Structure 1
Amino acid sequence: MVRIPLTPADRERGERLGAVLRGARGERSIGEVAALAGISAETLRKIETGRIPTPAFFTVAALAAVLDLSLDQLSGATEEVRTGRT
């Protein structure tokens, strides 16, 4: 299977997702949140910094649950980039 390269918009959306997750994490450590979500701290670090711009749905859902965010909130944060709204 060939992976389609990400567009600049995909990368920007991933950076925005990471920023929202980082903001919701607040003062909690990466390790603590990652463990509660069932992922590695390195994976969370990469998502927050935009190095994994398209994380798996179940990873995002687990992080949203741990961070008390709705999937609608996360979708809205990335939707602004996709449609050009600010």
Structure 2
Amino acid sequence: MVRTPLTPLERERGRRLGALLRSARGERSMAEIAARAGISVETLRKIETGRAPTPAFFTVTALATALGLSLDHLAELCAEAELPAA
């Protein structure tokens, strides 16, 4: 199976998601949040750094729950990356 390359917009949205999750994690350790979400620390690291710009829906849901974030709010913030510069 060949994966279609990501567009610049998809990459930017992934970077924004990672930055939002990293900010929401605050002083809590990656290990703590990864354990709460049921994912590996390496997966969380890849998402936060933008190296995994399109994580699975259930991974994002688990992270949002672990961080106390609303999926609606998270989606809204990530979508702001799609707005043209004013």
| TM-score interval, smaller chain | over 0.9
CA-atom RMSD, angstroms? Answer: 1.3
Partner SS state of residue 22, structure 2: helix
Q: TM-score, normalised by structure 2?
A: 0.94
Partner SS state of residue 27, structure 1: coil
2:20 — aligned with what? Answer: 20
Which ranges of structure 2 fall in alignment gaps of 5 or more residues?
Answer: none
2:72 — aligned with what? Answer: 72
Which ranges of structure 1 fall in alignment gaps of 5 or more residues?
Answer: none
Q: TM-score, normalised by structure 1?
A: 0.94
Flag as ranges the 4+ runs of structure 1 deviating above 4 A: none
Number of residue pairs matched by the alignment: 86
Partner SS state of residue 52, structure 2: coil
Label 1:2 to 1:18 Cα distance change in 2 as closer, same or farther (>3 A). Answer: same
Partner SS state of residue 84, structure 1: coil
What amino acid is aligned across from residue 64 of structure 1 in structure 2? A
1:33 — aligned with what? Answer: 33
1:52 — aligned with what? Answer: 52
